[in-house]
């Protein structure tokens, strides 16, 4: 079957279309996109984990125009396969480890408190995205990397311009903005890196510049690409996962009452259900590095196949009542953070941020409700809202 990933009807609610793809019970070839689409939980998970499928970045042309954008991707852990991926992940994990993430808890709680205090003293409504869901992870990543607070406002626009390139058929204007953002963002991080190398601090850039394993270090481009990826991937999941989940929750009276009555009790499982029910990342692409078969379909070397994460997360073979939100759902084996060697390295941080931000918001504003129809982003791959206006009373 054919689906148009840019059709406004599909973008507004892709799940009925994805259900029809899932019913095929095998990967389906999409002629216009030139890619197989894997929609069942079994197939989508296999795509993420099968070693015959790789994450292979192909330079955008003309290379002269896309030079910085290209190496920001080709030198990142997301676009690498072993042995390069193994080396990069080992080096990055030495600096961006469980202890460092947990050490951010007090800072996350502090920033959440600051944001809620600002909202308490503002008008009767606010935008859940720009006033709460968005500034929290951006500030945390900025804190982690040691970006000056006065320059945090630069980060989200750079990130947004770059990630728009992951959608289907980006316009020329989007491409131009992406090239500009890649050049400016990489130069910014490069300048900070040079400063930290001569005067290291306790930030992640300083540590990444010094981390070493078996005589190996991150190259300059690898370090810059890692920092850019941490911001881009590190806040998209939090912002969109939180926004998507809150809209679904506030539109579901029974689930809203359950969570608002006991936010501390249900927050952890609610966060997982937010991520499953309306996945912030819908599509993750891989390429066959040799012929491979998935559910009886042969994917030839060089052909592409995409794991449809949102479709997999609504698979009735794995989830009871998959099209219904259940904030107490457990177990919840969603694949919103990917799987295999490319499982999102920032997943623990995103979970920590959301698990602190959610109960704090509910306790501060126990009468929170939607005040206007939310405005969704015009994109499928990275699914989220531009604006979610809520009322405090």
From CA 217, how far away is CA 4, in angstroms rounded? 44
CA dist., res. 128 & res. 136, Å (int): 11
Strand partners, 53: 288
Active site residues: 233, 236, 238, 344, 353
**Is the sign of the CA dihedral 376, 41, 346, 101 positive or negative?**
positive
Taking the mean position of all CA atoms in its chain, how far away is CA 79?
15
CB count within 10 Å of CB 169 equals 9
Which letter, b or e, does each residue of 56-79 get, where b requires 16 or more Cβ atoms within 10 Å of its Cβ?
bbeebeeeeebebbbbbbbbbbbb
Q: What is d(CA 329, CA 273) in angstroms, rounded to the nearest whole number?
A: 7
Kindly give the interhelix angle for 220-250 and 347-364, rounded to the nearest 10 degrees: 40
Residue 83: exposure state from Cβ atoms within 10 A (0-12, 13-18, ≥19): exposed
Rounded Cα distance, 312 and 250, in Å: 24
Rounded to an integer, what distance in angstroms lies between the CA atom of residue 343 and that of residue 320?
A: 24
Half-sphere exposure of 262 (CA within 13 A, CB side): 9
Phi first, then psi, for residue 27 (nearest 5°) are -60, 140
């Amino acid at each position: 079957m054919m689906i148009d990933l840019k059709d406004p009807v599909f973008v507004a609610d892709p799940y009925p279309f994805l259900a029809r793809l899932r019913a095929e019970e095998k990967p389906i070839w999409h002629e216009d996109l030139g890619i197989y689409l894997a929609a069942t939980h079994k197939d989508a998970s296999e795509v993420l984990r099968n070693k015959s499928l790789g994450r292979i970045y192909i330079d955008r042309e003309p290379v002269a125009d896309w030079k910085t954008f290209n190496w920001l991707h080709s030198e990142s852990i997301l676009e690498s396969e072993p042995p390069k991926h193994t080396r990069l992940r080992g080096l990055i994990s030495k600096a961006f480890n469980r202890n460092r993430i947990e050490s951010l808890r007090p800072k996350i709680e502090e920033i959440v408190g600051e944001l809620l205090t600002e909202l308490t003293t503002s008008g009767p409504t606010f935008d859940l995205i720009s006033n709460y869901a968005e500034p929290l992870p951006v500030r945390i990543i900025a804190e982690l990397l040691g970006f000056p607070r006065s320059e945090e406002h630069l980060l989200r626009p750079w990130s947004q311009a770059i990630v728009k390139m992951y959608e289907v058929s980006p316009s020329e204007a989007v491409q131009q903005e992406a090239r500009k953002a890649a050049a400016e963002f990489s130069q910014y991080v490069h300048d900070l890196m040079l400063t930290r190398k001569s005067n290291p601090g306790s930030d992640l850039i300083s540590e990444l510049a010094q981390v070493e394993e078996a005589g190996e270090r991150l190259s300059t481009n690898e370090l810059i690409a890692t920092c850019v990826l941490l911001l881009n991937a590190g806040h998209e999941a939090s912002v969109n996962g939180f926004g998507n989940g809150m809209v679904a929750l506030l539109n579901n009276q029974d689930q809203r009452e359950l969570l608002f009555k006991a936010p501390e009790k249900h927050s952890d499982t609610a966060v997982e259900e937010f991520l499953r029910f309306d996945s912030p990342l819908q599509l993750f692409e891989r390429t066959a590095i040799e012929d491979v078969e998935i559910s009886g379909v042969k994917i030839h070397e060089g052909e592409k196949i995409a794991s449809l994460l949102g479709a997999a997360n609504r698979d009735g073979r794995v989830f009871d009542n998959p099209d219904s939100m259940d904030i107490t759902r457990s177990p919840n084996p969603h694949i919103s953070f990917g799987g295999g060697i490319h499982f999102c390295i920032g997943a623990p941080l995103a979970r920590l941020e959301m698990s602190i931000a959610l109960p704090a918001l509910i306790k501060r504003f126990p009468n929170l409700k939607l005040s206007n129809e939310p405005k969704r982003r015009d994109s499928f791959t990275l699914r989220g809202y531009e604006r979610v206006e809520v009322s405090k009373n």
